[in-house]
């Protein structure tokens, strides 16, 4: 087992990784920027190293600075958390070259999944359902037109190097195709240094449903079921839950099975998330794979009783799945997560500054993952997530009621937060009935404009 791990992140996820290290008896080393000197991840780590000025490019994204800290602290492994360097295959390669274990999949697999068109082709070959669309990269506008005719409008053009909603164009008619193809290509080339595009049938009102998997270094892969992530705005999730009201036990088992086989064949290792769109016939289609621990992992932890971050560390240390898990995966009850952001609840503009009062709720079935505290400062340089409030119940209704009472007992003063927006979502009759898709926030709470 590792003796010491560098936590290459900040905020709540850095604390989350430190918690896992403490429970495993591993020393945790924090890195921090000058803006994070007084952060809780610094306070709760066993050692902490300042790696540079506040700007991400000069601190948490500065690979030489992060690796130098790892070398100075003499760690055995690095946990990247989510975002930042978590899906940077070059970073993982540099770490392993320095004899430091990267807690995540092998760089080649990260690279494969980072090329969205290649990931789609690999999933198709393995028998994972994908949307009708182009076979390979679109060589020209002419080829795009041919595929669009075959698939039928509307279609969506996506950047192969994109993902998470960046570099996409919806094409509703053949007349619009030339301009949108050009725009997508130049935008992708400028943003990602790679103009490769592919095409899919466009689903108008999809749900976003993702499956959590764990894979060990010995070819064993297990599915921990799905998360429903449709409640989002501008590709930022606001509320996630597990299970999805739309996934039957049969569908869950079927997708779990095909994913286990596929990821074992691909040589996937560690935690991973496979994103699907669900159409109005409740069919699931693969869109992308994320090769990291995700923000919303706690809802899966609540319904499975599996500690996903401890599992990641054990897997990276070479443990077999039967040593990682206590027994078979059992999904029980219902969990909901609200991502509490430091932002104006109607205008959605970021709200940095000093928190004057902070009272997090507790009680049965409530979990909070946060690095915020009273008198603490939310710096303007980083993302606006200040707390993840998670409620568990025996069923969805109990989880909703529990979340409502917890939100009502959450006091944050000094900055604006999204708590009032979350309260409105939970009070909505369509949300309560499970009637929603990825357009829910845009249509019900437009704001911002």
| Least Cβ distance, residue 46 to ligand MV4 (angstroms) | 37
Alpha-carbon distances of 369 from 25, 298, 337, 405, rounded to whole Å: 21, 9, 10, 17
Distance CA(353)–CA(413), nearest Å, equals 10
Strand partners of residue 226 = 211
Which residue number, 133 or 414, has a Cβ lying nearer to ligand MV4? Answer: 133
Distance CA(43)–CA(327), nearest Å, equals 35
| Whether the bond into 243 is cis, omega within 30 of 0 | yes
**Contact status, residue 36 vs residue 60, Cβ threshold 8 Å:** no
| Catalytic residue selected from 207, 292, 339, 402 | 292
Contact positions toward ligand MV4, by CB under 6 A?
A: 131, 156, 163-165, 200-203, 206, 208, 232, 235, 275, 277, 287-288, 438
Which residue number, 157 or 321, has a Cβ lying nearer to ligand MV4? Answer: 157
Distance CA(316)–CA(305), nearest Å, equals 20
Distance CA(444)–CA(424), nearest Å, equals 10
* Torsion (CA) 395, 397, 398, 403 in degrees, nearest 10: 120
Q: Is 292 a catalytic residue?
A: yes
| Least Cβ distance, residue 152 to ligand MV4 (angstroms) | 12
**Contact status, residue 205 vs residue 437, Cβ threshold 8 Å:** yes
Question: Cα-atom radius of gyration of the chain, to the nearest Å?
Answer: 22
| Least Cβ distance, residue 372 to ligand MV4 (angstroms) | 27
Tokens found for residue 382: 């980083």
Which residue number, 237 or 261, has a Cβ lying nearer to ligand MV4? Answer: 237
Which residue number, 36 or 275, has a Cβ lying nearer to ligand MV4? Answer: 275
Collapse the DSSP code of 129 into the 3-class scheme (helix H, G, I; strand E, B; otherwise coil) and give the result: coil
| Whether the bond into 39 is cis, omega within 30 of 0 | no
Please give the DSSP secondary-structure letter assigned to residue 394.
S
Which residue number, 163 or 256, has a Cβ lying nearer to ligand MV4? Answer: 163
Which residue number, 85 or 441, has a Cβ lying nearer to ligand MV4? Answer: 441
Strand partners of residue 211 = 226, 274
Enumerate the active-site residues: 292
């Amino acid at each position: 087992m590792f003796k010491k791990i560098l936590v290459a992140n900040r905020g709540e996820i850095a604390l989350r990784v430190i918690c896992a290290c403490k429970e495993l008896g591993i020393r945790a080393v924090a890195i921090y920027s000058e803006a994070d000197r007084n952060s809780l991840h610094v306070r709760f780590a066993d050692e902490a190293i300042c790696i540079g000025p506040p700007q991400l490019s000069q601190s948490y994204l500065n690979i030489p600075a992060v690796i130098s800290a790892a070398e100075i602290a003499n760690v055995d492994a690095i946990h990247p958390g989510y975002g930042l360097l978590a899906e940077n295959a070059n970073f993982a390669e540099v770490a392993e070259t320095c004899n430091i274990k990267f807690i995540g999949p092998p760089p080649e697999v990260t690279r494969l999944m980072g090329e969205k068109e290649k990931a789609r082709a690999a999933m198709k070959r393995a028998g994972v359902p994908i949307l009708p669309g182009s076979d390979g990269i679109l060589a020209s506008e002419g080829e795009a037109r041919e595929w669009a005719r075959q698939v039928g409008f509307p279609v969506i053009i996506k950047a192969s190097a994109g993902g998470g909603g960046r570099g996409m164009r919806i094409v509703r008619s053949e007349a619009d195709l030339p301009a949108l193809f050009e725009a997508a290509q130049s935008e992708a080339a400028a943003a990602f240094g790679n103009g490769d595009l592919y095409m899919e049938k466009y689903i108008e009102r999809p749900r976003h449903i993702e499956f959590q998997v764990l894979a060990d270094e010995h070819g064993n892969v297990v599915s921990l079921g799905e998360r429903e992530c449709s409640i989002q705005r501008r590709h930022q999730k606001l509320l996630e839950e597990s299970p999805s009201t739309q996934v039957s036990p049969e569908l869950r088992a079927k997708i779990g099975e095909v994913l286990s086989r596929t990821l074992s064949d691909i040589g996937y290792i560690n935690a991973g998330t496979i994103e699907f769109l669900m159409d109005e016939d409740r069919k699931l289609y693969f869109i992308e794979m994320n090769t990291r621990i995700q923000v919303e992992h706690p809802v899966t932890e609540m319904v499975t009783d599996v500690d996903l971050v401890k599992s990641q560390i054990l897997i990276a240390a070479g443990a077999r799945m039967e040593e990682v898990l206590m027994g078979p995966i059992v999904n029980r009850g219902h969990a909901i997560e609200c991502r509490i952001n430091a932002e104006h609840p109607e205008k959605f503009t970021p709200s940095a500054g000093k928190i004057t009062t902070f009272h997090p709720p507790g009680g049965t079935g409530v979990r909070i993952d946060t690095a915020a505290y009273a008198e603490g400062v939310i710096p303007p340089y980083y993302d606006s997530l200040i707390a993840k409030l998670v409620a568990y119940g025996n069923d969805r209704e109990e989880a909703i009621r529990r979340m409502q009472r917890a939100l009502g007992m959450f006091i944050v003063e000094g900055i604006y937060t999204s708590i009032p927006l979350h309260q409105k979502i939970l009070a909505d009759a369509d949300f309560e009935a499970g009637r929603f898709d990825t357009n829910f926030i845009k249509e019900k709470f437009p704001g911002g404009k």
